[in-house]
Amino acid sequence: MSTHPFDKAIALEHSDIRAGNFTGATSTDYWNMVGPFGGTTAAIALQSVLRHPDLLGTPIALTVNFAAALEAGAFDVQATAVRTNRSTQHWTIQITQAGADGEPNMTTTATVVTAARRETWSASDMPMPEAPTPESVERLSIGPSGVAWLDRYEMRPFSGGIPAKWDESLHHSETRMWLREARERPLDFCSLAAMSDVFYPRVWLRRATRVPAGTVSITTYFHAGPAQLAEAGTGYLLGRAVGQQFFNGFFDQAAHLWSEKGVLLATSNQIVYYKE
């Protein structure tokens, strides 16, 4: 069976220079307008930690800061465990790419917190919203767009879809939809991190106006372990995204992802730049 496109996009080779130093290359399968889909860049940062020989536990938090878009081609990743405690481990990640002069240019910085979770009392105060069955919702079809990563996901919005008319009317910024990999692939932490960033900019829905926009920083919190991800398997996730404040060129949007059985798997918050 051929390698899944997502696994190709986040593939890393560990170098002999130092522990946690990896090399990779961008993927045309997940290309966005001016660079790779931000979700795959986030997944690459997380992958460098998950591949590190000194890893403790599983991810609980990932923050990715997009300083510049990666260009097509090779890049380097350095993951460093800056502190290891009894139950938590703190990481910094840097993604660099050689410039025209051959010197490394910083494109992405990130932090990851991993933890050795222990069985204890658990509960959720964020129940999954009521939703129609995935099969009863029409799949989103964008048509030719030149944005390759959109074809990698099956998205079925049942509330707050892309505006039918770009008429500058005002709407609520919430979207609810079912989503999963377009080509079947079991859910894991890296794909969950990527899917936390699949929602289009909330400012487009809020104003029914297309303006240039891009994520500056995104933080994803993981609320599940390997068993819960395995239970979700290749099924749909229910995603909800909503904007919270739009102010002078930046806005934030929050997102939630549940499994089909209603288990809250991840939440995320990001700050997004938009241009007038």
To 5 degrees, how large is the angle CA 266–CA 229–CA 29? 80
What is the Cα–Cα distance from 33 to 78, expressed in whole angstroms? 26
Give pTM, 2 decimals: 0.96
* Mean pLDDT of the 95-116 span: 94
pLDDT confidence of residue 276: 82
Residue 101: which pLDDT band, with cuts at 50, 70 and 90? Answer: confident
Flag whether pLDDT at 59 surpasses 90. Answer: yes
What is the Cα–Cα distance from 207 to 226, expressed in whole angstroms? 39
User: Using CB atoms within 10 A of its CB, is residue 4 exposed (0-12), middle (13-18) or buried (19+)?
Assistant: middle
* Mean pLDDT of the 23-41 span: 94
pLDDT confidence of residue 213: 94
pLDDT confidence of residue 144: 65
Residue 66: which pLDDT band, with cuts at 50, 70 and 90? Answer: very high
Tens-place pLDDT, residues 161-220:
999 899 999 889 999 999 999 999 999 999 999 999 999 999 999 999 999 999 999 999
* Mean pLDDT of the 72-81 span: 97
Tens-place pLDDT, residues 233-266:
999 999 999 999 999 999 999 999 999 999 999 9
Flag whether pLDDT at 146 surpasses 80. Answer: no
pLDDT confidence of residue 239: 98
